Amino acid sequence: MPALHFQVYGSVQGVGFRYATQCEALRLGLNGWVRNRRDGSVEIHAEGEAEALGRLADWLQHGPATARVSRVEQSEARTEGHGGFLERPTG
């Protein structure tokens, strides 16, 4: 199963970005996690069908209406075997 890692920068903390990402990932049938980073970014690990991962990647370019995304870094990741999509503590 394909997996991707994302780092999202901009005004993405304190605007519901993690919750909205979790909802979008679950809607797309993806597994993984999302968390705030101490540098002000949001980190996402997502696993699932390639098409769904592509849709999440597109959505992350703007996120929820309250966010202001300046850039998204994306890389391939190892599958971790998550069930569901969770919010993790800040890392």
- Beta-carbon contacts of 84 under 8 Å, excluding residues fewer than 6 positions away, are 26, 31
State mean pLDDT over 76-88.
94
What share of the chain has pLDDT > 90, as a percent?
A: 97
Q: Which of 18, 37, 68, 71 is catalytic?
A: 18
Tokens of 42: 């949001």
Residue-by-residue DSSP string for 65-76: TT-EEEEEEEEE
Residue 82 has pLDDT above 90, yes or no: no
Domains of the chain by residue range: 12-77
| Stated pTM of the model | 0.95
Active site residue 37: no
Least confident of 16-20, 22-26, 34-38, 80-84: 80-84
Of the options 3.40.630.30, 3.30.360.10, 3.30.70.100, 3.40.800.10, the CATH number for the domain spanning 12-77 = 3.30.70.100
Active site residue 31: no
Q: Which of 27, 31, 36, 88 is catalytic?
A: 36
